[in-house]
Amino acid sequence: MGHKRYGYLPKSKIWRDIVDSLGGFALGKIDAVSIAQKTLQNVQKRYSNLENDPSINASFEYLVEVAYAFKQEQPLKYLSEKNILSEKEAFSFFQLVKGVNNYKNNELVSHEYQTFARQAAVDAINNWYKQNIDKGQTLFSNDIDQEAVFRKASNGSGFCELSRLYFSKLTERYLKYFLEREAAIKISNISDRNRFSKEIEKEIDHISKHAFETAKITQSFSAGWYNNHVKDSIPERGEIRHFLNTSFGKMKGELLREEAK
């Protein structure tokens, strides 16, 4: 389990093509390939440290807690005992989104890491929920059985989808962050730099899809890990760190293969 290969980013543009399509007005004067490679190298380097960051551990552990809660007969009671939600309020997915910011919020080394981690968890919950409600319903529909929706995340197949979204959103944010940072170094003209940043927003769908395809490498591993380790209790922090180490390692390898293209 966990060694299935999905092939090299089959449905998205390769990274250097995405970068090459950004802001030709400025990139014609510089080496777009070097920006693409440097961005990937920065993300790969960050991957090597993420599993040791307490904010990353806390945000991912939060998703495990949510999935595990809906294995219980009374998920709201479990979540309230963990100080994630309040039993006094009617359950809603908005509470789960809000709870990310309060979960072990004192465990941090870097506010930057914490911001990326929380945002990735929020995005994962938000996107997973939208994908699992019935067709025609929206986030604000009143007739949704929200507990029933989140019970879909309580098994390996549901959790691996939630996990993939988390890794893809984290990667998307890092790709955008380091792309902007590297471009700021290479593009000296402020006007061109600002226009380049606007171009990134136009290409965000390609960046998002690229990150999502990169994260696919973690999917089968996530399902197996969840089924093996999230049965009668939440795994110890060391086991969660081991899972993150393996998952980020898989994604780093995927980006390394792309850099070599």
pLDDT tens for the chain, 261 residues long, are: 333 333 334 445 678 777 877 765 455 556 677 888 888 888 988 888 888 889 999 999 999 999 999 999 999 999 999 888 877 777 888 889 989 988 888 877 788 888 999 999 999 999 999 999 887 777 777 788 889 999 999 999 999 999 999 999 999 999 998 888 888 887 777 887 777 778 788 788 888 998 999 999 999 999 999 999 998 999 999 999 999 999 999 999 888 877 666
- Rounded to two decimals, the pTM is 0.87
Give the separation between CA 225 and CA 189, rounded to whole angstroms.
Answer: 48
How many angstroms separate the CA atoms of 250 and 44, rounded? 11
Domain positions in the chain are: 15-259
What would the two tokens of residue 43 be? 């993300």
